[in-house]
């Protein structure tokens, strides 16, 4: 990495004639020349050679196109700036102003009349059963209400983490705003009764930062591995390889992806809790993700230890994501890892083959599709039970703007009065962790699986967002050791990133 060469006052005055000369040379409405790119970056104290300017010509034109379509301040312009800085080998460590300076250079080109060469064929996007027993019910209720636990919230705030029940997983949002052309809401719906989808409630997730700040990572796309189960074999592919097979490659946006990571805290029954799951099966809780992409359409890939699943989601309402089990849809399931020795064995076996797998990890990968392709058909395999959710929850803004759902008074009273035998009490500073790993599997068939259709060759030239979710379940009072575990997992992803920060509030890690 090399640091950007910021010019001092004397040097800046010395180069002023060169900068102004190139400024007069910009041809209004035309793509910038290499010399004009050199001048634009020099205006921000970044000295480029003509060869370096030529090497980033494509990225600069793409950044200009995004700026023309969405305006300076949109996250897509910032994403393009990250890739330009990475190509040039500029310093992007915490506290660096490099990305802001690259964006300012793009603004300089726009102010001087430069125009991009369109690279997107679709043009600019338009704006927009039996009841479970009491012990399981108490544990289920208490887990989903953890955000109302003062000790838990204190530990979360110590680390600057943010608890949410609806996570904003956006790939196009304006600075300091909740608006954009690629906005997605994501929730995790856990069923109290596996056989009853209407019994599902929103689970709590712990993010590295709040929805309103949306600090993310830019990670090489090749670092994201997806898995296909072919008979008794698992085949691992990089995300770009899988996109090529699906006819969803991008000419300009597949080198890096936007990554956000979080921990999902879900209630998973212990052996002593009898519940509504198949006889002879390890205790488990069924869940499905829901996603609402507002005015856009996305091809979604979900990846877990047993393989990947695909669906097309679009505007209109939250849509549920299922496992595709031989052409039939099934909810995903969460079991305490020690109860799924089969999945732990599979994890060891695949890791021994050099594969990147984790029993508790769930990838949700959003691949943007063009809006002008009439042939695209949505999966539409179900919607969450929002009506029931409204009976138990009311939306509130949590500290630092994190969106959660507040438990209604009757339900909260019942939770507080419940015995604590489901989660043995421990002091918050105990050395024993209160969370255990969860292994993700799948449940029983609930109907035909439809992945959607007409998406091949419909990829939009926009960034991909990857949401990485690790599942845990409480077995005791939450401790600082749990928070340290979260921080360590977040740090492992930080180490893979070429850049980390917020496209929304313009802050770097």
CA distance 280 to 408: 36
Strands 499-502 and 185-191: unpaired
Q: What are phi and psi of 313, to 5 degrees?
A: -120, 150
H helical segments located in 206-354: 239-246, 341-352
Residue 133 pLDDT level (bands cut at 50, 70, 90): low
Contact (CB, 8 A) for 41 and 135: no
pLDDT in tens, 269-308: 988 776 656 677 789 999 999 999 998 999 999 999 999 9
How many Cβ atoms from other residues are within 10 Å of residue 447's Cβ? 11
Q: Is the pLDDT of residue 93 over 60?
A: yes
Please state whether 443 falls in left (phi above 0), alpha (psi between -120 and 50) or beta.
Answer: beta
Range in 75-89, 157-171, 424-438, 493-507 with the lowest mean pLDDT: 424-438
CA distance 361 to 308: 12
What pLDDT is stored for residue 316 in this prediction? Answer: 87
H helical segments located in 112-149: 134-144
pLDDT in tens, 178-208: 899 999 999 999 999 998 999 999 999 999 9
Tokens 């492992």 sit on residue: 492
Domain boundaries, the chain: 9-111, 162-403+423-502
Strands 332-336 and 435-442: antiparallel
CA distance 367 to 128: 18
Q: Is the pLDDT of residue 126 over 80?
A: no
Higher pLDDT, 266 or 317: 266
Residue 430 pLDDT level (bands cut at 50, 70, 90): very low
The stretch 67-80 carries a mean pLDDT of 91
CA distance 190 to 266: 7
The stretch 388-402 carries a mean pLDDT of 37
How many Cβ atoms from other residues are within 10 Å of residue 407's Cβ? 20
């Amino acid at each position: 990495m090399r640091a950007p060469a910021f010019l001092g006052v004397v040097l800046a005055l010395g180069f002023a004639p060169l900068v102004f000369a190139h400024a007069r040379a910009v041809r209004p409405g035309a793509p910038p020349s290499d010399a004009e790119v050199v001048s634009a970056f020099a205006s921000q104290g970044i000295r480029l050679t003509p060869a370096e300017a030529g090497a980033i010509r494509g990225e600069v034109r793409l950044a200009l196109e995004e700026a023309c379509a969405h305006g300076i301040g949109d996250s897509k312009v910032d994403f393009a700036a990250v890739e330009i800085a990475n190509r040039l080998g500029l310093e992007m460590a915490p506290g660096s102003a490099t990305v802001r300076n690259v964006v300012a250079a793009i603004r300089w080109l726009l102010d001087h009349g430069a125009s991009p060469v369109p690279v997107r064929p679709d043009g600019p996007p338009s704006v927009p059963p039996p009841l479970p027993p009491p012990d399981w019910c108490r544990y289920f209720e208490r887990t989903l209400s953890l955000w109302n636990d003062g000790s838990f919230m204190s530990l979360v705030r110590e680390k600057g983490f943010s608890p949410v029940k609806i996570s904003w997983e956006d790939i196009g949002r304006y600075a300091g705003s909740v608006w954009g052309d690629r906005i997605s809401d994501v929730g995790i719906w856990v069923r109290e009764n596996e056989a009853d989808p209407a019994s599902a409630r929103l689970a709590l997730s712990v993010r590295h930062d709040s929805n309103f700040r949306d600090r993310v990572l830019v990670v090489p796309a090749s670092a994201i591995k997806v898995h296909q189960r072919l008979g008794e074999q698992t085949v691992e592919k990089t995300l770009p390889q899988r996109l090529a097979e699906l006819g969803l490659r991008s000419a300009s946006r597949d080198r890096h992806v936007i990554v956000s990571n979080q921990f999902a805290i879900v209630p998973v029954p212990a052996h002593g809790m009898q519940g509504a799951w198949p006889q002879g099966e390890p205790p488990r809780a069924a869940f499905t993700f829901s996603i609402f992409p507002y005015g856009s359409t996305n091809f979604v890939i979900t990846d877990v230890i047993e393989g990947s699943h695909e669906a097309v989601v679009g505007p209109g309402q939250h849509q549920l994501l299922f496992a595709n089990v031989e052409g039939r849809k099934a909810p995903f399931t969460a079991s305490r890892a020690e109860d799924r020795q089969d999945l732990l064995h599979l994890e060891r076996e695949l890791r021994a083959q050099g594969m990147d797998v984790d029993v508790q990890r769930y990838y949700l990968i959003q691949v943007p599709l063009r809006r002008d392709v009439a042939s695209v058909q949505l999966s539409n395999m179900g919607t969450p039970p929002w009506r029931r959710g409204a009976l138990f929850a009311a939306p509130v803004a949590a500290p630092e703007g994190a969106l959660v759902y507040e438990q209604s008074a009757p339900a909260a009273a019942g939770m507080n009065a419940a015995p604590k035998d489901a989660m043995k009490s421990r002091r918050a500073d105990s050395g024993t962790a209160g969370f255990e790993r969860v292994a993700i599997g799948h449940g029983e068939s609930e109907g035909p699986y439809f992945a959607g259709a007409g998406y091949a060759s419909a990829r939009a030239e926009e960034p991909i967002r990857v949401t990485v979710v690790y599942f845990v379940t409480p077995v005791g009072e939450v401790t600082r050791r749990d928070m340290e575990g979260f921080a360590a997992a977040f740090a492992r992803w930080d180490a893979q990133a070429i850049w980390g920060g917020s496209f929304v509030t313009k802050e770097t890690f």
